[in-house]
């Protein structure tokens, strides 16, 4: 098995499902959450290797909320599920906060919906918040914002959210921890002959046939949503590992490259995936022209584009739109996500960041296009 994907991973998204987090609905599993937090902290600190950036996507709010409200049966009314999620999320966030703090690591609660990630501006806002948290060495703990959506509660699952987050932050690997050792050739609860799949290609259609629905009454997605999540994660170059959440030292061993569970390998390299996404999928909404100094910094050093190097702005674009960066001769140097809308960008041309607050009325990013959101084009 190619386990280098995990050993070399610098940015890892870990997703845990409701049944593991809440001990099959009996209540938050403090020992299990404590174990994952201990391992996350060791990864962040780089114990035994390079430091990793980790994001936790954790389900369990509805199951925990039901327990706190004294509901033995999952309600059918969506508004009651939303209420349970809001109640349970308090306990969930508190538990991660406590367990990470015990390890000397800061945590942050982030609640997202699929619609947030489909909206260009919110996508960029969520991305810059998460990347800032990672730079600060804080572990973001993410869940769905169940209060404001109903579709996700009815059909959703956090496997999809895990993949969307992996896409959002350009993770190297998505680790899905579940109540089985990995993906089997059939649902092991129903077929005793089922065999563990050690490695396969993410997106291989044959995998979908192996995956049945949810095994427990607590989780919603089952293995199929994990297979589809792996396919989505692979679109941005992230491989997916599916493993048993109670396996001792599961995260540390995976990060050492040990073969545990199922590895679904992404076929496209991360850099290619992002480049292709920028180049193919998004319509250009505008362009900025930069001076020779900025062109050299971008081309030669892969730096972010600062407004001080901009001489002209074309088109009508919003924050989060993809724009082209051109040199004075009109050749495209790069493409990337604009931090400022065109009207603001026009005001910022040739200006140092110290003047942004006076010009815009608020202080924001010093970059017009951050290098993390930029793809250089080779001519």
Ligand X SMILES: N[C@@H](CCC(=O)OP(=O)(O)O)C(=O)O
Ligand Y SMILES: Nc1ncnc2c1ncn2[C@@H]1O[C@H](COP(=O)(O)OP(=O)(O)O)[C@@H](O)[C@H]1O
Contact residues toward ligand Y (CB under 6 A) are 17-20, 178-180, 183-184, 186-189, 210-212, 214-216, 219-223
Residue with nearest beta carbon to ligand Y: 215
Q: Taking contact as CB under 6 A, which single stretch among the options 217-225, 287-295, 332-340, 342-350 is the one that binds ligand X?
A: 217-225
CB 222 to ligand X: min, Å = 8
Contacted entry of ligand X, ligand Y, none for residue 210, CB cut-off 5 to 8 Å set by kind: ligand Y
DSSP calls for 106-136: -EEEEEE-HHHHHSHHHHHHHHHHHHHHHHT
CB 24 to ligand Y: min, Å = 10
Q: What is the CB-side half-sphere exposure of residue 1 using CA atoms within 13 A? A: 21
Which one, 157 or 321, has the nearer CB to ligand X? 157
The backbone torsions φ and ψ at residue 274, rounded to the nearest 5 degrees and listed phi first, read -70, -40
Q: Taking contact as CB under 6 A, which single stretch among the options 101-109, 141-149, 232-240, 254-262 is the one that binds ligand X?
A: 141-149
Q: Which of 11, 12, 13, 17 is in the footprint of ligand X by CB under 6 A? A: 17
Q: Judge whether 166 and 174 are in contact, CB under 8 Å.
A: yes
- Ligand-binding site membership of 178 (annotated): yes
Q: Running DSSP on this structure, what letter comes out for residue 307? A: G
Q: Judge whether 131 and 372 are in contact, CB under 8 Å.
A: yes
**Residue 59 contacts ligand X per CB under 6 A:** yes
**Residue-wise burial string across 83-98, b where 16 or more C-beta atoms lie within 10 A, e elsewhere:** bbbebbbebbbebbbe
Which one, 6 or 84, has the nearer CB to ligand X? 84
CB 219 to ligand X: min, Å = 4
Contacted entry of ligand Y, ligand X, none for residue 189, CB cut-off 5 to 8 Å set by kind: ligand Y
Which one, 20 or 306, has the nearer CB to ligand Y? 20
Helix (H, G, I), strand (E, B) or coil at 301: helix
Cα-Cα-Cα-Cα dihedral sign, residues 60, 65, 70, 74: negative
Beta strand 199-201 with 239-244 is unpaired
CB 72 to ligand Y: min, Å = 19
Q: How far apart are the first and last CA of the chain?
A: 37
Cα-Cα-Cα-Cα dihedral sign, residues 335, 337, 342, 347: negative
Contacted entry of ligand Y, ligand X, none for residue 183, CB cut-off 5 to 8 Å set by kind: ligand Y
Site for ligand X in 70-109 (CB under 6 A): 85
Instruction: Count the site residues for ligand X by CB under 6 A.
Output: 17
The backbone torsions φ and ψ at residue 227, rounded to the nearest 5 degrees and listed phi first, read -65, -40
- Ligand-binding site membership of 331 (annotated): no
Contacting residues toward ligand X, per CB under 6 A: 17-18, 59-63, 85, 143-144, 146, 157-159, 219-221
């Amino acid at each position: 098995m190619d386990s280098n994907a995990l050993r070399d991973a610098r940015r890892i998204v870990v997703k845990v499902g409701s049944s593991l987090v809440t001990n099959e609905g009996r209540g938050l599993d403090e020992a299990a959450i404590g174990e994952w937090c201990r391992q996350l902290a060791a990864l962040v600190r780089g114990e035994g290797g390079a430091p990793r950036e980790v994001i936790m996507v954790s389900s369990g709010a509805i199951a925990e909320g039901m327990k706190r409200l004294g509901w033995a049966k999952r309600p059918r009314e969506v508004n009651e599920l939303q209420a349970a999620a809001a109640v349970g999320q308090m306990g969930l966030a508190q538990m991660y906060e406590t367990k990470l703090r015990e390890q000397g690591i800061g945590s942050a609660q982030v609640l997202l919906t699929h619609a947030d990630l489909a909206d260009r501006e919110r996508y960029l806002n969520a991305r810059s918040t998460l990347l800032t948290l990672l730079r600060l060495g804080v572990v973001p703990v993410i869940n769905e914002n169940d209060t404001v959506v109903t579709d996700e509660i009815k059909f959703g699952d956090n496997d999809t959210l895990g993949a969307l987050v992996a896409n959002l932050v350009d993770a190297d690997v998505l680790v899905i921890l579940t109540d089985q050792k990995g993906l089997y050739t059939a649902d092991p609860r129903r077929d005793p002959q089922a065999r563990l799949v050690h490695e396969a290609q993410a997106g291989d259609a044959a995998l979908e046939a192996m995956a049945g629905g949810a095994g427990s009454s607590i989780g919603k997605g089952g293995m199929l949503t994990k297979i589809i999540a792996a396919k989505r994660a692979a679109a941005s170059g992230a491989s997916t590992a599916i493993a048993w959440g109670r396996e001792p030292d599961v995260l540390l061993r995976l990060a050492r490259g040990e073969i545990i569970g199922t590895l679904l390998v992404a076929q496209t390299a991360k850099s290619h995936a992002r480049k292709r996404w920028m180049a193919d999928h998004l319509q250009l909404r505008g362009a900025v022209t930069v001076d020779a100094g900025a062109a050299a910094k971008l081309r030669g050093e892969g730096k972010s584009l600062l407004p001080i190097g901009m001489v002209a702005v074309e088109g009508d674009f919003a924050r989060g739109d993809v724009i082209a960066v051109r040199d004075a001769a009109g050749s495209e140097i790069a493409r990337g996500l604009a931090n400022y809308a065109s009207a603001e960008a026009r005001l910022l041309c040739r200006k140092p960041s110290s003047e942004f607050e006076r010009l815009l009325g608020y202080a924001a990013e010093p970059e017009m296009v951050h290098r993390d959101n930029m793809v250089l084009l080779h001519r």
